[in-house]
Structure 1
Amino acid sequence: MSEIPSESALVQEKPSDLQTTELPPSTPMSEDEESRSPRNWSPWKKRLLFLSLMTSSILCDGAMTWGSTLIVEQAIQWNISVDKSATSMNYGILLQGMGGLIAIPLIEAYGRLPLWLWPQVITTFMVLGATLSKDFDTFTAFRSLQGVFGTVPQVVGLPIIHDMYDPHDWPYRINIWASTFLIGPFAGPAIAGYIGAGSGWVVSFGILTLFYGLSTILILIFGYETYFVKGQESQRNSRLQSFFGIKTHNLPALSTIGYWTKILVVYIFKFPMLLTGIATMVNFCWPIGITVTVSTFVAQPPYLLDTIESSSLRWAPIIGGLSGYAFGHWFNGWIYRSRQKAWYPEYRLLGAYFAIGTMACGLLTYGLTLHYQKHWIGLAFGWLMVVAGMIASTVSITAYALEKYPDQSTVVSAIINGWRTASGFSVGYFQPSWIARNGVAAVFGTQTAVVVTVLILAITPVIIIEGKRAKSKLAASSQ
């Protein structure tokens, strides 16, 4: 599940130590260059490419959580516990973040199209391998590799939007593209469960393979290299050259990879990125834990929900995610208007207080409903609040990070994505045994305390320390 980009600028910083043939900014583009610029492509060419990007992006999280409603059937077939069956997604979720970080230098070195197409092709075969698996270990291995390669559209989308659209179009296009991250993680399991209930988990994963195949075909037909710099020859490439990243950039590939790897490491450990990254890790840990384990709980007494009912329960987090995104979008607009005279980015983090408060209430509602074995509506409402808080806090954190570092939008997005998945993969392993040892009430009460503590220890220092620095700069500039 990926972070939600904000409306901040998406201009990529160029390595100062690398030689390019880019013309000076004042040099006007020739008529030929104007025609080759992706921003001047025909509206339909851009729409069809954007549609292809949307299909691959919604599959990132939607396909990774696809099997969460099918774990009971798989456990029976492979003669393993339901708790163990639920762990088949965990490594894939972890490797999504790592795959995104690895992709950044390669995208800058070889272009958008090859790093968009070939991981999608590989992921198609990984899903096919999972579909044909005959045992749990093989299935888990293919699902883990799916996570490595299948996450790339979540990273390559921002550069493509930057390349293809004018700045005033970025917010609108980013909002549409980001909707895939809201819907995918919960719509995927719901669709998988509906298919699996009537046809079995193998057919369900076969349909997922078909979805990946169709998405790959769309990229082959409508995908084009969007990287473009005046004076370079990348847009003169044939389709075949573009698919393989030949002459995409006139920069030394190894130097480019080394530069962007260094940039990633530097930004991971910047004070604001480190603390907000830790907060993101915690905020995503417990919601992802619910997502990958809820089918285990509702399949047991007193709920005994079948696959269709368990799949339909996913509509609660979908509504929660959309609600959280709507709040985050409204809050960012409101706080900017109300503080416009003395604005600095740390104001955006104030939205995390309400968001994490909502998440804390949701965790308590969900945990107490399980503890006292109350109606499943309590689970749905608690899950809704948890996801609403998770998305709203992520909107605030991501908006802050992208505004704080507007020249490194893709880098900071990938870093936040890495923190998110680093926590989500592990919770499926320790939460069931934790509940068995200490009880549901203690577990979810502790989780509530953790998210509130991290709000105080991670978000608040960034607001105070970075806010003071920003105020000092504002005061100095006004003198």
Structure 2
Amino acid sequence: MADNQLPEKGASEKVHQRHSRHLEELEDGQYVVGHHVRERAGSDSGSDASGLKTTADGSVVLIPQPSDDPSDPLNWSWTKKHSVLLALIPGCILTDFVITWGTTLFEQQAPEFHMIVPDVANSISGAIFMQGPGGLLAVPLAQRYGRLPVLFWCQFATLISSIGATYAKGYAGFTACRTLQGFFGAPPQVIGLSIVHDMFFFHERARKINIWAFSFLIGPYLGPFLSGFIAEGLDWRNNFGVLCGLYGLSVLMVILLGDETLYNRDVAAVRYARQPGIAGKIKRLVGITGYQQSGDKPGVFEVAKDLFGIFARPYILIPGLLFITFQTMWTIGLVSTISQFVKPPPYLFSNTATALIFLAPMIGTILAELWGHWFNDFIATRYIKSHNGVFKPEARLFGVYIPWIFGVCGLVLFGQGLQHHLHWVSIAFGWGLNCFSTLGSATAVSAYFLDVMPQHAALTAAWLNAFRTVGGFTVTYFQIKWVANNGPAVTFGCQAAIVAFFVLSIVITQLKGASWRARFPPPATSRTT
């Protein structure tokens, strides 16, 4: 079907009924209908002349239309929604944070494990790889039993794994615990997109996605930044003890602020009435409520089937596997190998200096968050206004191009800086540009995936996470050897060329996306939202 548009002012009842059907079709992921200024029915009514619910000022039609049930997360107050979002954020930050936390500690661990530094660095490879399976496994559970218990138990399990890594006696035990950290720590990156979808309307989502993406993309740099400073005063085991405390804080925030956002609008509201008090909160937290209500939700195997069906859709596979994978793998590679570039001559960075250089990717990520906070909305709003209220999801992908250019330039500058022993600022600036590109592009692609498959947010986020991690897992094994054999200028120049080439996947998706969506629609809408 073609993308649709909102009716104009003074719409008739017939148009209103037709538009209501379009809102339902939006829930199947085949439409995305954008902002439209409407005639107010009353000064504070929150609805327009045709009876559709709007924002309080009447300027934007709410998509999707919320139910009349106060338990519907779309009807929660601003404070409630952002408290739940806040409970999610530490887990998202810690997902990659926990893996890269130890990248500044390899030099401390090597003598204890009787190994050389590059071999000790491989201890994080399994953790990076297991983020993919961990995220994919979380999806059926989150769809069946709820977001909150999956978030709670994964944070708790990662806390236990972190304690195990702290007290591991040998390299094998340490690596096993690190691998479990990656597996159990991944779900917040996956279910976060679903939580955004559950609570926020179309016109709010791009900014919330940007916050969610920012939180897990700044984690890889914030972790080693902090651990590098701590390494000046503590050995690596006590350093990991601090990490355990941070995960304890994350678990506590989920307990205090988290709530279940999964809501089935196809059943009577009484089925989703929330048991009040501490007992009700505990039952939602540990999954008892989710288990009791699971009969209304898709089965684990049903979701798993949809998960792999979504992977085969070209409008997911092509921009995800061919762009996100090859763009983010070099970013992950830099995080895991940066200390091996700046600690040897000619730079001879101390632990403190190594920690400080992680400010560069953090600054790049923060600037990308500020950029994406307004630019993605600007693209959507401008497109809608220039197309008479019609919005095509492929317009989101225009947000990729400017960050992509910065990413290509950043990789070239980083390689040239290392090759010619330029001032360390050139390395930091190149790295910052690359990280700006990673978040800026990821936000645009994530928003596109949510627009084309709003009912399968967790499933698309799981594949986004898998696309990122599969590249990051492999690059740790060959990055240093590649630089040693060919030099940093050639190595990072080739990486830049790969990123430059695969932007064609975005161009092709913009040209063919609408026809692909018509030919290969999303799986039938689940019984949950």
Contact 2:314–2:516 (Cα < 8 Å) also in 1: no
Does the Cα contact within 8 Å between 2:394 and 2:509 map onto a contact in 1? Answer: yes
Q: For 2:237, what is the secondary structure of its paired residue?
A: helix
For residue 141 of structure 1, report the CA deviation from its aligned partner: 1.1
Contact 1:277 1:419 in 2 (8 A): yes
Give the aligned residue type for 2:280: S
Give me the whole-angstrom Cα distance separating, in 2, the residues matched to 1:429 and 1:467. 38
Change beyond 3 A, Cα 1:413–1:47: closer
What is the root-mean-square deviation of aligned Cα atoms in Å? 3.0
Change in 2 beyond 3 A, CA 1:466/1:221: closer
Which residue is 1:276 aligned to?
319
Query: Which residue in the other structure is 2:21 paired with?
Result: none
Q: Is the 8 A contact 2:329 2:468 kept in 1?
A: yes
Q: Distance in 2 between matches of 1:171 and 1:219?
A: 23
1:76 maps to 2:120: no
Cα deviation, residue 37, structure 1 = 4.9
Partner of 2:247: 212
Greater RCO (Cα-Cα under 8 Å, separation 6 or more): 1
| Structure 2 CA distance for partners of 1:455 and 1:173, relative to 1, 3 Å | closer
Could you tell me which runs of 5 or more consecutive residues in structure 2 were left unpaired when the two chains were aligned. Answer: 1-23, 30-63, 520-529
Distance 1:333 1:217, change over 3 A: closer
Q: CA deviation at 1:292?
A: 0.6
Conservation of the 8 A alpha-carbon contact between 2:329 and 2:475: yes
- Tell me the SS of whatever aligns to 2:260: coil
Counterpart among 357, 360, 365 of residue 321 in structure 1: 365
Give the C-alpha shift of residue 176 in structure 1: 3.8
User: Is residue 2:150 matched to residue 1:150?
Assistant: no
Does the CA contact (< 8 Å) of 1:130 and 1:142 recur in 2? Answer: yes
Amino acid corresponding to residue 257 of structure 1 in structure 2: V
Q: Given the superposition, is the C-alpha separation of residues 219 and 370 from structure 1 closer, same or farther in structure 2, using an over 3 Å criterion?
A: same
How far did 1:56 drift? 2.2
Matches within 5 A, 1:412-451: 412-451=460-499
Secondary structure of the corresponding residue to residue 219 of structure 1: helix
Q: Which amino acid aligns with 1:317?
A: P
How big is the shift at 1:410?
2.3
Q: How does 1:256-271 map to 2 (within 5 A)?
A: 256-271=299-314
User: Does structure 1 conserve the Cα–Cα contact (< 8 Å) formed by 2:209 and 2:446?
Assistant: no
Counterpart position of 2:49 = none
* Match of residue 363 from structure 1: 411
State the SS of the aligned residue for 1:304: coil
CA contact (8 A) 1:68 1:295 kept: yes
| Whole-angstrom CA distance in 2 between matches of 1:428 and 1:309 | 22
For the residues of structure 2 that align with 1:44 and 1:132, how far apart are their CA atoms?
40
Tell me by how many angstroms 1:161 deviates: 4.1
- 8 Å contact 2:132–2:465 — kept in the other structure? yes
Structure 1 equivalent of residue 35 of structure 2: none
C-alpha separation in 2, matches of 1:167 and 1:331: 15
Higher helix share: 1
Q: CA 1:446–1:169 in 2, change beyond 3 Å: closer, same or farther?
A: closer
Deviation by residue 1:320-374 (Cα, 9 ceiling, x = unmatched): 1122333344442343344333342223323333322221111111111111122
TM-score, normalising length: structure 1: 0.85
Question: Where does residue 286 of structure 2 map in the other structure?
Answer: 244
Which amino acid in structure 1 is aligned with residue 376 of structure 2? N
Following TM superposition, by how much is the alpha carbon of 1:144 offset from its aligned partner in structure 2, in angstroms? 0.7
TM-score by length of 2: 0.77
Identity %: 35
The count of residues paired between Structure 1 and Structure 2 equals: 448
2:434 — aligned with what? 386
Please give the residue correspondences for 1:132-171 in structure 2 after superposition, counting only pairs within 5 Å: 132-164=167-199, 170=205
| Residues 69-113 of structure 1 deviation map (CA, whole Å, 9 limit, x = unaligned) | 222222233222221222221221121122111111101111122
1:122 aligned partner: 157
Cα deviations by residue, 1:412-458 (Å, 9 ceiling, x for unpaired)? 122111101111111111111222222222211211221112123x2
Structure 2 counterparts to residues 49-198 of structure 1, below 5 A:
49-164=84-199, 170=205, 173-198=208-233
Q: Conserved in 1, the CA contact under 8 Å of 2:87 and 2:250?
A: yes
Change in CA separation of 1:258 and 1:362 when aligned onto 2, cut-off 3 Å: same
Cα deviation for residue 291 of structure 1 reads 0.8
The 3-state SS of whatever aligns with 1:232 is helix
CA contact (8 A) 1:364 1:382 kept: yes
Counterpart of 2:506 in structure 1: which amino acid? I
Using the alignment, how far apart are the partners of 1:467 and 1:13 within structure 2?
A: 15
Q: Which runs of 5+ in 1 are unaligned?
A: 1-8, 15-24, 473-479
Q: Evaluate the alpha carbon distance shift between residue 366 and residue 228 of structure 1 in structure 2; reply closer, same or farther with a 3 A threshold.
A: same
Which of 123-132 and 372-381 deviates more?
372-381
1:444 maps to a residue whose letter is: F
In the alignment, the residues of structure 1 paired with residue 240 and residue 508 of structure 2 have an alpha-carbon distance, to the nearest angstrom, of 45
State the match for 1:5 in structure 2.
none
Name the counterpart of 1:465. Answer: 512
Range that drifts further, 324-333 or 388-397: 324-333
Distance 1:454 1:158, change over 3 A: closer
Aligned to 1:374: 422
The letter for the 1-side match of 2:286 is F
Contact 1:328 1:393 (C-alpha < 8 Å) held by counterparts:
no
Aligned mates of 1:430, 1:328 — CA distance in 2: 32
**Higher deviation after alignment, 296-305 or 337-346:** 337-346
Q: Is 1:366–1:379's contact at 8 Å kept on the other side of the alignment?
A: yes
**Distance in 1 between residues matched to 2:79 and 2:392, nearest whole Å:** 39
| Partner SS state of residue 259, structure 2 | coil
Residues 189-213 of structure 1, C-alpha deviations (whole Å, 9 max, x = no match): 1011111121122111100001111
Q: Which amino acid aligns with 2:397?
A: L
Distance 1:306 1:317 in 2: 18
8 Å Cα contact 1:228/1:235 also seen in 2: no
Cα gap change, 1:122/1:164 in structure 2, threshold over 3 Å: closer, same or farther?
same
Residue-by-residue CA offset, 1:4-63 (whole Å, 9 max, x unaligned):
xxxxx9x9769xxxxxxxxxx99986xxx63x5556667766555443322222211222
Is the Cα–Cα contact under 8 Å of residues 189 and 311 in structure 1 kept in the other structure?
yes
Q: Residue in 2 aligned with 1:22?
A: none
For the 8 Å contact 1:355–1:389, the answer to whether it is kept is yes
Name the CA distance, whole Å, in 2 between partners of 1:453 and 1:365: 18
1:115-173 Cα shifts (integer Å, max 9, x gaps): 11111111101001111122222211111100111112222333334445566665554
Output aligned runs, 1:281-360, within 5 Å.
281-340=325-384, 341-342=386-387, 343-360=391-408
Tell me what 1:477 maps to.
Answer: none
